Structures are given as structure tokens and as C-alpha cells.
Structure 1
């Protein structure tokens, strides 16, 4: 009986090892497949667009003629959009996280708010575009200017900042705040001088992810009516604008007319990837600096 029991245990162990090895192989092949597809996509974009990138393309205005088209207006539009999105999401997102984690009483209402914030992170982006069209473009009569687009994109990425900031605040050791209270500090002094500095690396990580998503989104801006072709450069948050993803989208549609538009779209994708790389690298450096400091 003892031998039979030992054999059964060994068979179960062998089956677990076999399943584990099969799972490892499947996950490895999935990773390789994703990397291969990504490599093919990047290679195709580089082959199509790298020859079209020059100073005239970077600094020029948008044009209906493919050989004279530039993307400086879209670059400036993306910049002004981030001027609106960054402070709105940081202020509202971090403020909401502080309230929910440190001020709100634990109960049904707090649980409902928390659940809804988590669910909002998975809502399709086009729904936020419809919301922005209803509130900012029509009800507030802002039109399709930078401010309306920035507020719409802020609604889209706000749940990401809230959730990331909450996780960062939770990760701060409890004994730090208790020591602050023991030394006579008020709750706000403890939050400002102890909790927020310690949670800052995690908060910045959430901001990085949110801004990266905002820069790459197209659907909400299509819904609120951002133009495909804009000759004047935007100079502030009250000007009409277009952004790099919008230009990629419309040039991709026009690629059915001529191959030159496909090359323009590929060149713009390269510029957008470069902008994202710079922003993420800068944000990571800032985050690491604060992480070492605190």
C-alpha cells in the first residue's frame, strides 16, 4: 500500500512537471511571436518612412501635396495637448487618490467609488470622445480647440493616474506616518512631507503611462472633430489643432490614393515613437532621481 501511494504521488508530480514545461514552452513561443510581429512592424515602418524624414518634413506645414507636407503643426498640437493633460490629470488624479486612501471613510460609498474608478480604466476610448463632444464641445461651446481636446484626453487617462497613485500611497510604510504623527505633525503635514515624497516614484510612473496613452490616442479626437488638415500652427490652448496620431490616421486612409501618403504616415510614426521615447526616458530619469533621494 505504501508503494502504491508513493507511485501515485510520483505520477502526480511528473504530470505537474510536464504541464509546467508545456506552459513554459507556450508562453515562450507567445513572447517570440509577439516580438517577431513587432520587429516586422518596426522594420516596415522604418523602410517606408526613414527616407522621408528631413528638416522640411519636421518643420513644414501640412499640405495637400504629399511631397511638400510637413508635421510641425501636428507636433505643436501634441505639445499643447500635453500642456493641458499633464496638470489636469496630475492634480485631479493625485488629489482623488489622497482623498480615497487617507481621508475617505472605509465603507460602501468608498467601495463603490473605487470600483467605478477601476472600471473606468477599461472603458473604450471612443466613449470618452462622445463624452467630451457632449460636455466640452457642445455644452460648454469650446469647439474643437486644444482645451477641449486636452480635457477630453484627461478624462480618458485620469483613472490610470488615480489607480497608480493609490497603489503608490499604499506602498508607503505605515511606521513613517506614525512617526510623523508621534512628533506632533498634522495630517496634512504628514501627507505633504512624508507620504507624497515617498510615493512620488510610483505616482510619476502612473503619469508616464497616462501621458503615453494620451499622446497615442486617436478615437476621442476624431469624435470631437479635430481637423485632418490644419495649415496655421497652434500657439495656445484656445487654438484649433491637430496631433501626430490624427495625421497618421488620415494619411493612412489616403494611402489608398497614392503610396506617398503611406510613406508620410510611416515617417510620422517614426517621429511619434521618437517623441514617446524621449518623454518616457526623461520621466524614468526623473522618477529614478526622486526614488534615490527619498
Structure 2
């Protein structure tokens, strides 16, 4: 049911207020749970667009495209911080980047042919897998270090392709993947931050281009990227993330991890219900 008429001035102002709230929620949760913004922003935007009555055919595409755009400034700041702290391993990044770029381009191309339902189902399924991984106490070590060029390229393609289709930075998938090959967690996190920039720039451009001329999008959108959402979410996320980080120091980290896993689980269930109802 549509709660706001986004063709009127009052509706536009209501949309901006809702997007500001989205940025605030995403910022607090990102700081509280130590995750990239995309894995939080996409489901929040999905629910918001549902309340706004955005057509199901474009709802998930708009959420993903707008999320990718917000990751650009966030990943720049994050990668810079990790570099200053010495937690970026250039050799690891160089081995993954070619495959990541190819994966992002393939994901952007595929997004043009995926229905809103297919994109929603993909996000819900990956969210379930991420939630299951976060419920685990320890990451299982599969091997020592990344495989050869071909294997590293394939890993990069999977990370880039799925991340671009989900509207998330590289951290959600790259951190557990790199941890599984026994790369130190700080290096894995720093690498994920750097990969977020590699994923978000071409990913954003692809969603902009693939959505040009598509009907039933929100006002202020270029393709599948809503500029109002970008302008409202980024400042609020950066403003509210420190608050979430402060709260994180007052709560047990293991509890936080499980709370976020429950959030992803609830999001996935809601998306499946929307798909099949």
C-alpha cells in the first residue's frame, strides 16, 4: 500500500525525511555491528520503498543501485583509514582486483536481465548464508593463503559479481573468504574496504545506465540510483556511525554478531514472504 504520494511536494518532503531516517538507522547499525553500509542499507531501503508503494519490478533495483552509490564515499574513507593503520596488503588486493572488476561488470550486465523478484530472491538467499556464517563461533580454515592467479581470479569474480548484484561492498563476502584462507582478520577487513571502492564505482554506473527510461522509478533517480537517497543517506550514515560504534563498546561483541545475524534472517524471511505472497 502506498503511504506517500511522491508526485507532490509533501510526498517528496516525506520521502526525504524517510531517507534521512534510513541513513540514521544504517549508520547506527553499521557502527554498532561493524559491517559495511550496503548490507544494512539495501534491506532498509527495500522496506522503505515497499511502504512508499514503489513497483515490485523496480523496488530492489533502486535499493541496490542507491546502496552502491552510497558505498563510494564510505569506502574511500574506510580504505584510507585502514591504509594509515597498515592493514592493507597490496599483494592480496592486486591478486583479487582483476577478478573483482570482471565480476562487477558481469553483475552489472546481468542486472539488466534480472527481474525484481529474482534480485530480491538472490539478496534474501545470500543474506541467509551470511547470517548462518555469522552464527558460527569460528571461521573454518580451508587452506593457507590465496590460490594461484586463476583461483584468485575466480574468487574475485564471485565477490565482485554477487556484491554488485546485492548492492554491498566487498567486506561482507571478502572478509569471511579471506579469513577462510588464513589471512589475518585486520588485513581481510582492510582489503574488503578497498574492494568496496572497486565494486561500487562501476556497479553504480551500471545500475544508472541499466535503469535509464525504466518507468515507475522514484523522483530524483538517474537510472536505478536515487539521488535523493544518496544525498540523504551518506551524511546521516557518517554522522550516526560513531554513535553506533560507542554503543558497540558497551555491548558484548558476540551478542552483537548474533543480533545482526537475526536482523539478516528477519530481512530474508520478509523478502521471501513478499516474493511468494
Give the TM-score of the pair, scaled to structure 1. Answer: 0.29
* More RCO (CA 8 Å, sep 6+): 2
Looking at CA atoms only, which structure, 1 or 2, has the larger radius of gyration?
A: 1
